[in-house]
Amino acid sequence: ILQNHQTITDEYLEKYCKKTLPQSVYAFFSQGSYDENTLRDSIQAYQRYKLVPSGLPTQTCDLRTRIEFPKRGISLDLELPFGFSPVGLMGAGHKDAELATTKAAENFGACAILSSHSSKSIEEIQQAAPGCIKMLQLYVYLSREVSEALVQRAERAGFKAIVVTIDGQVRGIRYSTMRTPLGNEYQSGNFGSELLASVGLDVDKRRQGIGYEIKDPSLTWDDIKWLRSITDLPIILKGVLRADDAIKALDYDVDGIMVSTHGGRQLDGTPAPIDALPEIVDAVKGRLVIFVDGGVRSGDDVLKSIAVGADVVFFGRPMLWGLVWKGQAGVETVLQTYKDGLSTAMMRNGLSRLSNITRANVQRCNASNTISSPRL
């Protein structure tokens, strides 16, 4: 792995995927909304944060971390402080889809958040990787029974939390998909014909079982209260970019938030997650678990995110590119590369454990100092 560290990068893997995947599939996975400013800036933003070494290097470091949900009496021990963001319909990229990614996460002791619109079902994923710490990403649907059924299935399968997407009820405008739409042959493993028929959706006209016609566009805080009433699992709100929303989440018995822009796929022109993170961290003062995803492309980026205040860092596209490249082995290569990168960055910064990382380890530079990185 270390010998290939300079070549097995996200850029290398994405170029491979762009060359080998059908155009419609690559567009579906890689696209951002409108002019893709948020998509680009989420990656480039990490270049604005510079690592500031302190003291002498150390020869060892401990990457283990624990996620605490005290109100639920749940503690999750992870071998790595980073994991996988939810990505829908991964089967379009590789036949093993989430079976491969969760097995890889299990082998590395990493957390995986699975999309409700995964290519494999909740039950198949649990059977493939029973030891992986898994969370279910959830939308609130027009039929609350659909959302509740997914939550109940996740509970029975031993998933550890519900991650509610709050910025995905209305489809973002994505020009790439408009030009080359994804075909109906790619379908979600969790949405069978019986479930779709129960909400009055014509199965023959569905869009991969993930049509926005079954999501409730009028999501409100009352829906979060309803979700809290039907499950004892920790609830994490995904898509928070403002401190006042993070504080308000405390009033609804939420356990955590995920600072995220939905991979730059929903609303263009928003702040990069790493830029939105500090204000949110300062506002919640440790009262919520804080996840972040969006733009993370290296172990250095993981260190910067933790220094700014994230408890666990997540990424989606690098995992996906590894999956397309070599299945489970490709995903494990990505995990190992990130692990090596984070370990090296910590040791060079004199950090022997994650709890030693503080904001003093990073410095934010002006935008004028940012090195531009062209889109592939």
Q: Annotated binding residue at 209?
A: no
Q: Annotated binding residue at 295?
A: yes
Q: Annotated binding residue at 262?
A: yes
Q: Annotated binding residue at 164?
A: no
Q: Annotated binding residue at 296?
A: yes
Radius of gyration of the chain (CA): 20
Question: Comparing C-alpha atoms, which of 327, 303, 289 is closest to residue 67?
Answer: 289
Taking a C-beta distance cutoff of 8 angstroms, is the pair 314, 83 a contact? yes
Q: 3-state class of 164 per DSSP?
A: strand
Beta carbons within 8 Å of 271's beta carbon, 6+ residues apart: 241
Please, is 245 exposed, middle or buried when counting C-beta atoms within 10 Å of its C-beta (0-12, 13-18, 19+)? middle
- Strand blocks (E) in the chain: 49-51, 65-69, 74-78, 82-84, 111-114, 133-138, 162-165, 235-240, 256-259, 289-293, 312-315, 362-364
Q: Annotated binding residue at 139?
A: yes
Q: Annotated binding residue at 331?
A: no
Q: Annotated binding residue at 5?
A: no
Count CB neighbours of 60 within 10 A: 9
Q: 3-state class of 165 per DSSP?
A: strand
Catalytic site positions: 262
Q: Annotated binding residue at 44?
A: no
Q: Annotated binding residue at 285?
A: no
At residue 45, φ and ψ (nearest 5 deg) are -60, -35
Give CA–CA dist 327/320, Å, rounded: 9
Please, is 180 exposed, middle or buried when counting C-beta atoms within 10 Å of its C-beta (0-12, 13-18, 19+)? middle
Q: Annotated binding residue at 265?
A: yes
Q: Annotated binding residue at 31?
A: no
Q: Annotated binding residue at 75?
A: no
Taking a C-beta distance cutoff of 8 angstroms, is the pair 354, 63 a contact? yes
- Tell whether the torsion through CA atoms of 337, 327, 86 and 67 is positive or negative: negative
Beta carbons within 8 Å of 69's beta carbon, 6+ residues apart: 75, 76, 161, 234, 255, 256, 289
Taking a C-beta distance cutoff of 8 angstroms, is the pair 117, 88 a contact? yes
- Tell whether the torsion through CA atoms of 62, 111, 327 and 124 is positive or negative: positive
Q: Annotated binding residue at 317?
A: yes
Alpha-carbon dihedral 66, 123, 257, 39, rounded to 10 degrees: 110
Q: Annotated binding residue at 260?
A: yes
Where is the binding site for FMN, in residues?
A: 86-88, 115, 137, 165, 238, 293-297, 316-317
Where is the binding site, in residues?
A: 86-88, 115, 137, 139, 165, 174, 238, 260, 262, 265, 293-297, 316-317
Where is the binding site for glyoxylate, in residues?
A: 139, 174, 260, 262, 265
